[in-house]
Structure 1
Amino acid sequence: MKRVGIIGGGQLAWMMGDAAKKLGVELVVQTPSSDDPAVAIAQDTVLATVDDAISTKILAKKTDVITFENEFVNLESLSFIEHQGVCFRPSLEALTPLLDKYHQRCYLQSLGLPVPQFFALEQAENLGSQIEHLGFPVVLKSRRHGYDGQGTFIIKDLADLQKQLNLNTTTKALSQSLFLIEEFVPFERELAIIAARSVDGEVVTYPVVETQQEQQVCRRVIAPADITPNQAAEIEAIAHTLLNSLEVVGVFGIELFLTTSGKILVNEIAPRTHNSGHFSLDACETSQFEQHLRAVCGLPLGNPALHCVSAVMVNLLGYEISGSDYQSQRQKLAEIPQAFVHWYGKTESRPGRKLGHVTVLLDHRNRDAISTIANNIESIWYPS
Structure 2
Amino acid sequence: MKRVGVIGGGQLAWMMGDAAQKLGVELLIQTPSRDDPAVAIAQETILAPVDDANATEILAKKCDVITFENEFVNLEALSSLAQQGISFRPRLEALAPLLDKYHQCCYLRDLGLPVPQFFALDKLENLESKMEYLGFPVVLKSRRHGYDGQGTFIIPDLATLQEKAGVTNKELSQSLFLLEEFVPFDRELAIIAARSVDGEIVAYPVVETQQEQQVCRRVIAPADITPNQAAEIEAIAHTLLNSLQVVGVFGIELFLTAQGKVLVNEIAPRTHNSGHFSIDACETSQFEQHLRAVCGLPLGNPRLQSTGAVMVNLLGYENSHNDYQSKRQQLAEIPQAHVHWYGKTESRPGRKLGHVTVLLDNQNQDSASVITQTVEAIWYPS
Q: TM-score, normalised by structure 2?
A: 0.98
In the alignment, the residues of structure 1 paired with residue 172 and residue 6 of structure 2 have an alpha-carbon distance, to the nearest angstrom, of: 32
Corresponding position of 1:324 = 322
Match of 1:31, as an amino acid? T
Q: Does 1:160 align with 2:160?
A: yes
Letter in 2 for 1:215: Q
- Mapping 1:219-258, distance limit 5 Å: 219-258=217-256
Does the alignment pair 1:67 with 2:67? yes
Q: Contact (CA 8 Å) 2:194, 2:249: kept in 1 or not?
A: yes
Q: Name the aligned partner's letter for residue 139 of structure 1.
A: V
Matches within 5 A, 1:1-384: 1-122=1-122, 125-166=125-166, 175-363=173-361, 369-384=367-382
Give the conservation status (yes or no) of the 8 Å contact 1:121–1:176.
no
List alignment gaps of at least 5 residues for structure 2: none
Q: Are residues 178 and 170 of structure 1, via their aligned partners in 2, closer, same or farther at CA, if it must alter by over 3 Å? A: farther
Give, as a single letter, the amino acid of the residue that structure 2 aligns with 1:154.
Answer: I
Could you tell me which amino acid in structure 2 is paired with residue 296 of structure 1? V
- Give distance in 2, aligned partners of 1:68 and 1:296: 10
* Superposed CA offset, 1:194-229 (max 9, x none): 000000000000000000000100000000000000
Contact 2:123–2:172 (8 Å) recurs in 1: no
CA change 1:123–1:243 in 2 (3 A) is farther
SS in 2 for 1:126: helix
Work out the CA distance in 2 between the residues paired with 1:249 and 1:172: 45
| Secondary structure, aligned partner of 1:35 | coil
Q: Distance in 2 between matches of 1:25 and 1:358?
A: 26
The DSSP-based 3-state class of the residue aligned with 2:133 is helix
> Structure 1: 5+ residue runs without aligned partners?
none
- Alignment RMSD: 1.6
Q: Which amino acid letter does the alignment assign opposite residue 362 of structure 1? A: L
Structure 1 residues 170 and 328 mapped into 2: Cα distance closer, same or farther (>3 Å)?
Answer: farther
Q: CA deviation at 1:174?
A: 6.0
- Aligned mates of 2:101, 2:214 — CA distance in 1: 16
SS in 1 for 2:271: coil
Q: Hey, what's the Cα distance between the residues in 2 that align with 1:288 and 1:276?
A: 10
Q: For residues 331-371 of structure 1, give each alpha carbon's deviation from its aligned partner in whole angstroms, at most 9, with x where no partner exists.
A: 0000000000000000100000000000000116x998210
Identity of aligned residues (%): 82
Q: Tell me the CA shift for residue 170 of structure 1.
A: 8.3
SS at match of 1:21: helix
Does the 8 A contact of 2:187 with 2:256 survive in 1? yes
1:172–1:305 CA distance, 2 compared to 1 (3 A): farther
Deviations 1:238-278 (A, max 9, x none): 00000000000000000000011100000000000000000
Which digits, 9 at most, give the CA deviation of each residue in 1:51-76, with x for residues without a partner?
Answer: 00110010001100000000000000
Shift of 1:124: 6.1
Q: Tell me the CA shift for residue 185 of structure 1.
A: 0.1
Contact kept? 2:124, 2:172, Cα under 8 Å: no
Runs of 4+ in structure 1 displaced over 3 angstroms? Answer: 169-176
| 1:281–1:288 CA contact under 8 A, matched in 2 | yes
Task: Pick closer, same or farther for the CA change 1:174–1:11 going to 2, 3 Å.
Answer: farther
1:319 touches 1:382 (CA, 8 Å); kept in 2? yes
String of CA shifts for 1:151-193, please: whole Å, max 9, x gaps: 0000001001012123xx8897664421010100000000000
Q: 1 CA distance for matches of 2:292 and 2:39?
A: 21
Separation in 1, partners of 2:80, 2:169 = 32
Q: Is 2:165–2:172's contact at 8 Å kept on the other side of the alignment?
A: no
Q: Distance in 1 between matches of 2:309 and 2:172?
A: 44
1:78-116 C-alpha deviation (Å, 9 max, x unpaired): 001110000000000000000000000000001000000
TM-score computed with the length of structure 1 as normaliser: 0.97
Provide Cα deviations, 1:309-347, integer angstroms capped at 9, x if missing partner.
Answer: 010000000001111110000000000000000000001
Change in Cα spacing, 1:86 to 1:336, as seen in structure 2 (3 Å) is: same
Contact persistence 1:124–1:130 (CA under 8 A): no
Distance in 1, matches of 2:266 and 2:322, equals 33
Amino acid at match of 2:298: P
The letter for the 1-side match of 2:10 is G
Give the conservation status (yes or no) of the 8 Å contact 2:67–2:89: yes
